[in-house]
């Protein structure tokens, strides 16, 4: 239908994909010009960022242009931005990625065993279903 | 010359300014008691004649003069420092061997020997690695630790691992043509016993942790997508 679904607007939550704040969730608080936005988060100093450093998410909160820090944090809490993010499939994937990257060698071995076990169980069930269909 | 004193004496002539003493020459003569020394010696300053020198031993001319001047190497008194053990390697750590016959094997670290090498065991039953010495540089230390308090490794040192010296028999002609009768050097029974004793206590601690036995039995290898500089060991 329409080519774009996520728009740059005041209150749009974005993920930083490059630079010092890599991986942080930030809120677009104002637009500086065609390329840059003023961006803020509860745990960082409000700063400008190029749009190329941001990836827009589906989450949007209701704020006015350039709110004070406190007036920013309250709607964020109300909209449970953090919860929404951690329950979204994108957010869950990032959490799993981080956890897997921090696994030690023994952890990776156990993960491999678990994957093999799970695949074995899936294959067994599939074989059962195939047998039923054939019968 | 007069004998050197063991303790340097303080001067009796303090400096007023650098280069100017408080007392004049005549005052210092009195202060130092040179008059008393002279009086003791009958009006003259005591004189010590040089002692008769013992005749120097005649040097024998050397038997051999080398054709060219051979340079002597410089004296080197440096002693190598004891090898520093990496902080990540503690007794009971699982190490990954990086080179040699057991490349990729995961192995338990027991202790560091005086030569700096690490004493390591498979355990033998799990992955075939015996009690062995391994260089620190060829091992990756993982963060997995095993409880090693039950194991007694005091009897193992570098001498335990030296090769046995086999006396070479002089071969006569007849023996040259005989088939090689040298049997393979077998591992002495007491070393096998040592291995069993060390492994017995280790195996108990290993079996307490689920999957650890299979982990030690498997070899490590880099798979597709694994970046060694990003891996956490």
Three-class DSSP labels, chain B: CCCCCCCCCCCCCCEEECCEECCCHHHHHHHCCHHHHHHHCCCCCCCCCCCCCCCCCCCCCCCCCCCCCCCCCCCCCCCCCCCCCCCCCCCCEEEEECCCCCCCEEEEEEEECCCCCEEEECCHHHHCCCCEEECHHHEEEEEEECCCCCCCCCCCCHHHHCCCCCCCCCCCHHHHHCCCCCCCCCCCHHHHHHHHHHHHHHHHHHHHCCCHHHHHHCECCCCCCCCCCCCCC
Answer whether A101 touches B (CB < 8 Å): yes
Answer whether A109 touches B (CB < 8 Å): yes
pLDDT of B186: 79
pLDDT of A131: 94
* B95, closest residue in chain A (CA to CA): A105
Chain A residues in contact with B232 (beta carbon < 8 A): 101-104
Cβ–Cβ below 8 Å for B215 and A109? yes
- Residues in chain B with pLDDT < 50? 1
Of A101, A104, A110, the CB nearest to B233: A104
Cβ–Cβ below 8 Å for A101 and B142? no
How far is C-alpha B122 from the chain's CA centre?
Answer: 27
| Six token digits for residue B105 | 């094997």
pLDDT of B55: 78
Per-residue pLDDT of chain A (135 residues; tens, 9 = 90+): 789 999 999 999 999 999 999 999 999 999 999 999 999 999 899 999 999 999 999 999 999 988 888 888 888 787 888 899 999 999 999 999 999 999 999 999 999 999 999 999 999 999 999 999 988
Chain A residues in contact with B143 (beta carbon < 8 A): 104-106
Give the separation between CA A73 and CA A43, rounded to whole angstroms.
Answer: 10
Chain A residues in contact with B215 (beta carbon < 8 A): 106, 109-110
With a threshold of 0.90, tell me whether the complex ipTM lies above it. no
Cβ–Cβ below 8 Å for A104 and B232? yes
pLDDT of B61: 84
Q: Which of A98, A101, A106 is most worth mutating to test chain B (most B CB atoms within 10 A of its CB)?
A: A106
pLDDT tens string A67-101: 888 888 888 787 888 899 999 999 999 999 999 99
Reported as type and span, the H/E element at residue A29 is strand A25-31
pLDDT tens string B184-204: 677 888 889 999 999 998 999
Which residue, among B84, B126, B88, B90, has the nearest Cα to B107 in the 3D structure?
B126
Other Cβ atoms within 10 Å of B216 Cβ, number: 24
pLDDT of A66: 86
Cβ–Cβ below 8 Å for A105 and B220? yes
Answer whether A105 touches B (CB < 8 Å): yes
Residues in chain B whose Cβ is within 8 Å of chain A: 94, 96, 106, 142-144, 211-212, 214-215, 218, 220, 230-233
Cβ–Cβ below 8 Å for A106 and B144? yes
Cβ–Cβ below 8 Å for A106 and B96? no
Which residue, among B90, B174, B85, has the nearest Cα to B137 in the 3D structure?
B85
Q: What is the CATH number of domain B93-163+191-217?
A: 2.30.30
């Amino acid at each position: 239908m329409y080519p774009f679904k996520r728009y740059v607007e005041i209150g749009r939550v974005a993920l930083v994909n490059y630079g010092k704040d890599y991986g942080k969730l930030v809120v677009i608080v104002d637009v500086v010009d065609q390329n840059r936005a003023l961006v803020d988060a509860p745990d960082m100093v409000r700063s400008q960022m190029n749009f190329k450093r941001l990836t827009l998410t589906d989450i949007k909160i209701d704020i006015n242009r350039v709110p004070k820090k406190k007036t920013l944090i309250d709607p964020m809490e109300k909209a449970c931005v953090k919860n929404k993010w951690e329950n979204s499939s994108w957010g869950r994937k990032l959490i799993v990625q981080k956890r897997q990257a921090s696994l030690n060698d023994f952890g990776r071995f156990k993960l491999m065993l678990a994957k093999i076990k799970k695949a074995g169980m899936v294959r067994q069930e599939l074989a059962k279903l195939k047998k039923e269909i054939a019968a | 010359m007069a004998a050197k004193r063991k303790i340097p004496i303080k001067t009796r002539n303090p400096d007023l300014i650098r280069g100017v003493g408080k007392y004049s020459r005549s005052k210092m003569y009195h202060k130092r008691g040179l008059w008393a020394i002279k009086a003791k010696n009958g009006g003259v300053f005591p004189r010590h004649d040089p002692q008769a020198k013992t005749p120097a031993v005649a040097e024998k001319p050397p038997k051999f003069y080398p054709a060219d001047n051979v340079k002597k190497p410089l004296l080197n008194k440096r002693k190598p420092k004891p090898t520093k053990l990496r902080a990540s390697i503690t007794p009971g750590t699982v190490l990954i061997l990086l080179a040699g016959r057991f490349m990729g094997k995961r192995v338990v670290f027991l202790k560091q020997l005086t030569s700096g090498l690490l004493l390591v065991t498979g355990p033998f039953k799990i992955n075939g690695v015996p009690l062995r010495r391994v260089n620190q540089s060829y091992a990756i230390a993982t963060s997995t630790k095993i409880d090693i308090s039950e194991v007694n490794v005091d009897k193992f040192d570098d001498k335990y691992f030296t090769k046995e010296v086999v006396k070479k028999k002089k071969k006569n002609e007849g023996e040259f043509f005989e088939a090689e009768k040298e049997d393979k050097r077998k591992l002495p029974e007491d070393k096998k016993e040592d291995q069993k004793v060390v492994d017995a206590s280790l195996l108990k601690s290993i079996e307490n942790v689920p999957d650890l036995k299979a982990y030690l039995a498997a070899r490590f290898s880099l798979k597709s997508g694994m970046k060694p500089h990003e891996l956490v060991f």
